[in-house]
């Protein structure tokens, strides 16, 4: 697979810094740098053209795609974490970036939080949270299970994103012109879900895979994941129990174990409506 990007000279330098540990030798006067990252070969030409080749070309080029979106330097974005994890809360973060944060964002190697390892999220997230204006909402499991009875997941998300933007707006007094939401439902549905809300923040751009296109969304996604990891640690410590992430077999096993240790606490740590609950507890009874 081959992917292309066109970057400015400054962005080329930033990309080179980010790929510092993956640079390889080359012998070509028109080339600025060559790097191998995952299975992707990245050739950056002095002209600004960057070619990504290999199986991971799509994924790796997306990591740098935000450098291409030069007019999004002053912007706000939101993203959520935890909706696919059986254990743990749902976190939504909205944050804003300005041109003065751009160096920091480049230096940290901000990218889609899904492709950054947890250890790195803990470092980058701690820094971003210190420097960027942000609003974080934590929907704990007990409350989640309560609201889930009368709201579908997208409705819950819509209300949280809306509130996160309103909080951020309150904090900053005014939000940047470009405000992007990582789209989880079409625009029409998003606003339909909010029809009962007293105040609606509506000056939004909806974008899918926004975390790889808009640095503000990438930052929001990292901060949300950072808070999610912290909350997970708190849960592990509180129950002296290792909660697996995701919703796979390890989770099913953990449900059985946890339920034996704490028969009244599952709704405080889990998203009960997931199929895992009935599956694990039913199998355990047999
Ligand atoms: Mg998202």
pLDDT of residue 63: 74
CA–centroid distance, residue 44 to ligand 1 (Å): 29
CA–centroid distance, residue 240 to ligand 1 (Å): 30
- Give backbone dihedrals phi and psi of 103, rounded to 5 degrees, phi first: -60, -45
pLDDT of residue 110: 77
Is residue 74 very low, low, confident or very high in pLDDT (cuts 50, 70, 90)? confident
CA–centroid distance, residue 84 to ligand 1 (Å): 11
The answer to whether residue 285 scores a pLDDT higher than 80 is no
Work out the mean pLDDT of the chain and round it to a whole number.
Answer: 90
Pair type for strands 49-53 and 23-24: unpaired
Cβ contacts of residue 136 below 8 Å, gap of 6+? 91, 92, 93, 164, 223, 224, 227
**pLDDT tens-digit readout, 151-198:** 999 999 999 999 999 999 999 998 988 899 999 999 999 999 999 999
DSSP label at 270?
B
Which is nearest to 226 in space by CA: 134, 129, 87, 157?
A: 129
CA–centroid distance, residue 212 to ligand 1 (Å): 10
Is residue 284 very low, low, confident or very high in pLDDT (cuts 50, 70, 90)? low
**pLDDT tens-digit readout, 20-49:** 889 999 889 899 999 999 899 999 998 888
CA–centroid distance, residue 184 to ligand 1 (Å): 7
Tokens of 15: 């990309």
CA–centroid distance, residue 3 to ligand 1 (Å): 23
Other Cβ atoms within 10 Å of 27 Cβ, number: 6
pLDDT of residue 111: 67
Whole-prediction pTM: 0.75
Torsion of the alpha carbons at 159, 161, 166 and 172, rounded to the nearest 10: 170
The answer to whether residue 96 scores a pLDDT higher than 70 is yes
CA–centroid distance, residue 107 to ligand 1 (Å): 23
**pLDDT tens-digit readout, 252-279:** 999 999 999 999 999 999 999 999 999 9
The answer to whether residue 124 scores a pLDDT higher than 90 is yes
pLDDT of residue 20: 85
First-to-last alpha carbon distance for the chain, in angstroms, is 49
Is residue 67 very low, low, confident or very high in pLDDT (cuts 50, 70, 90)? low
């Amino acid at each position: 697979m081959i992917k292309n990007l066109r970057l400015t000279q400054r962005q080329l330098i930033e990309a080179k810094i980010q790929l510092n540990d993956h640079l390889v030798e080359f012998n070509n006067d028109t080339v600025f740098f060559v790097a191998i990252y995952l299975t992707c070969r990245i050739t950056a030409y002095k002209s600004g053209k960057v070619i990504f080749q290999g199986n991971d070309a799509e994924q790796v080029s997306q990591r740098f795609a935000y450098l291409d979106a030069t007019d999004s330097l002053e912007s706000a974005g939101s993203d959520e974490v935890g909706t696919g994890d059986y254990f743990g809360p749902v976190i939504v973060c909205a944050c804003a970036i300005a041109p003065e944060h751009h160096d920091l964002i480049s230096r940290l190697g901000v990218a889609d939080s899904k492709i950054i390892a947890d250890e790195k999220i803990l470092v980058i997230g701690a820094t971003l949270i210190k420097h960027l204006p942000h609003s974080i909402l934590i929907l704990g499991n007990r409350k989640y299970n309560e609201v889930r009875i009368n709201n579908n997941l997208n409705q819950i998300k819509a209300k949280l994103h809306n509130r996160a933007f309103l909080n951020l707006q309150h904090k900053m007094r005014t939000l940047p012109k470009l405000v992007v939401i990582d789209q989880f439902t079409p625009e029409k549905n998003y606003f339909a879900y909010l029809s009962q809300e007293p105040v609606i923040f509506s000056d939004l751009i909806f974008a899918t895979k926004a975390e790889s296109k808009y640095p503000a969304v990438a930052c929001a996604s990292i901060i949300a994941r950072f808070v999610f990891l912290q909350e997970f640690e708190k849960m592990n410590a509180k129950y002296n129990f290792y909660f697996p992430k995701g919703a796979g077999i390890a989770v099913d096993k953990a449900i059985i174990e946890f339920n034996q240790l704490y028969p009244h606490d599952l709704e405080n740590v889990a998203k009960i409506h997931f199929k895992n609950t009935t599956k694990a507890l039913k199998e355990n009874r047999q």
